[in-house]
Amino acid sequence: MEIEELKTIWQQYDLKLNNLEELNKKLVMQTLSKKPKSRLNLMRFQIIFVLMLLPIVLIIVLSHYFKIENIDWKFIIGCILTLSVVIYLSYYNFKNFMALKKINIGVDTIIETAKKVNEYKETIKNRRKYGWIPLPLIFTGVLLIACNAFTFDFKTILSMAGLFVFALVLWIIKYKNKSEKIEKLEKEILDLKEYEK
């Protein structure tokens, strides 16, 4: 065999090896991207679930109090507060859903995807600073709507305070879990970087 033939054979094998390596990276990328994609889909589903669940639960719980004899200034203020919080939370959750929808794992580059996840993470951090404000407002609104049904004795006030503290603790746990999920998503996406073309 001449040197030219050996060079040609070597180049063919080198090309095949490069093609196999590229195919291997693509397969690994597809396999490893399944977990962040499912995590992202779960986060999107949770936002849609909350968007639909909050108004439905409030309507079911408070429908008993929507009677003509209950309408007074407390009822109207309670409705305004509750409706304002529901609109604000719906707007915020819709905005978060749209931010998550922009994240395209496998379509965008890893750097672009990580940047979009980081932007989403920053909105969650900013929301966390002031996110506790809707909780007392909606709690006050619901109390004002239903105040005609309560006798405000020590036991009732203690129960309401306990319910408020429980809701506040639940809110803190929810945001801590959300932050952890976003951190995991960000880490999983950055782990894909070495398999990107």
**Helix 110-130, helix 154-191: angle, nearest 10:** 160
DSSP line for 83-137: HHHHHHHHHHHHHHHHHHHT--BTTB-HHHHHHHHHHHHHHHHHHHHHTTTHHHH
Residue 185 lies in a domain: yes
Domain count, the chain: 1
Range of the domain at 141: 35-195
Residue 81 lies in a domain: yes
pLDDT at 141: 85
Residue 72 lies in a domain: yes
Residue 51 lies in a domain: yes
Residue 95 lies in a domain: yes
Token digits for 183? 């951190």
Residue 147 lies in a domain: yes
Residue 26 lies in a domain: no
pLDDT at 189: 75
For residues 65, 165, 45 and 86, what is the CA-based torsion angle, rounded to 10 degrees?
40
| Cα gap 172→155, rounded to integer Å | 26
pLDDT at 197: 56
pLDDT per residue, tens digit, the chain (197 aa), is 577 777 777 877 777 777 777 766 666 666 666 777 788 888 888 888 888 888 888 888 777 777 777 778 888 888 888 889 889 888 888 888 888 888 887 677 777 877 888 888 887 777 777 777 888 888 888 888 877 777 777 887 788 888 888 888 888 888 888 888 888 877 877 776 665 55
Residue 28 lies in a domain: no
User: Whats the size of the chain, residue-wise?
Assistant: 197
Token digits for 73? 């200034």
